[in-house]
């Protein structure tokens, strides 16, 4: 009996133990990936609303400089120095001058001129 016990103590993990360990690691990594995906979508939403707040402030500054509110993004981004600075994750689509696109969101300007414009955030992820 002592010989058997020694052999058992010297052996490594059994195949069942390894399969269970791999399954546990797989489940934990799956849960982590789902959590990370939710965080990036949440960050994208916050980026849109932060850009919206900055756009509202910038349109007020534009009004102070010109006496009219902007009607498109280029009016706030092209003057030197620009009133509204856009981060690297965001671009203005020249074919749609009133839409500012980012990763997973769209910020639209509507109105302007004599009345303050409205800014709307929308998700592009569907």
112 DSSP assignment:
-
Per the domain annotation, does 89 fall within a domain?
yes
Q: How much is the pLDDT for 35? A: 76
**Which of the residue ranges 17-21, 39-43, 83-87, 106-110 has the most confident prediction, judged by mean pLDDT?**
17-21
pLDDT above 90 (res 13)? no
Q: How much is the pLDDT for 83? A: 65
Per the domain annotation, does 23 fall within a domain?
yes
Mean per-residue pLDDT of the chain: 77
Q: Which residue has the tokens 């489940």?
A: 27
Query: What's this model's pTM, rounded to 2 decimal places?
Result: 0.60
Per the domain annotation, does 63 fall within a domain?
yes
CA nearest neighbour of 117 among 126, 105, 106, 108: 108
Per the domain annotation, does 28 fall within a domain?
yes
Q: Dig out the tokens for 109 from the structure.
A: 């300007």
Which ranges constitute the DSSP H helices of 1-126? 2-10, 15-66, 74-77
Q: Which structural domain, as residue segments, surrounds residue 108?
A: 11-123
């Amino acid at each position: 009996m002592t010989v058997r016990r020694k052999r058992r103590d010297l052996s490594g993990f059994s195949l069942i133990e390894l399969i269970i360990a791999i399954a546990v690691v797989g489940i934990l990594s799956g849960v982590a990936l789902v959590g990370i995906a939710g965080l990036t979508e949440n960050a994208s939403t916050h980026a849109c609303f932060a850009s919206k707040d900055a756009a509202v402030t910038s349109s007020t500054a534009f009004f102070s400089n010109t006496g009219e509110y902007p009607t498109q993004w280029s009016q706030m981004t092209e003057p030197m120095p620009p009133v509204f600075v856009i981060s690297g994750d965001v671009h203005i689509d020249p074919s749609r001058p009133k839409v500012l696109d980012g990763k997973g969101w769209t910020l639209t300007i509507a109105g302007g001129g004599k009345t303050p414009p409205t800014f709307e955030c929308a998700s592009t992820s569907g």
